[in-house]
Amino acid sequence: MGIAELQSYGFLTVTIFLTVALYAYIYHLYKNRKDADGHDYEDYADLALNDDLSDTPVNAKNRDK
């Protein structure tokens, strides 16, 4: 077993580990989308695109106060 074969096994191991870690991180982000207060901040993702006066607001406010 030469150094080239060890390098190829090491590269394959690191690549598989980083791929699994990436998918685990993505799963963690989508599983815990809401913060501690229960706000889902993905609602704000299109806020820069939908900023016209006639667009519906993300959080509707009650004006009865």
pTM recorded for the entire structure: 0.56
- Chain segment 15-48, per-residue pLDDT in tens: 999 999 999 998 988 887 776 677 777 777 777 7
Q: Which H or E run contains 59? A: none
Which residues share a beta bridge with 40?
Answer: 34
CA angle 7, 12, 15 (to 5 degrees): 120
- What pLDDT was estimated at residue 16? 98
Q: DSSP of 12-58, one letter per residue?
A: HHHHHHHHHHHHHHHHHHHHT-B-TT--BGGGGTTTTTS-STTSPPS
- Chain segment 41-53, per-residue pLDDT in tens: 777 777 777 777 7
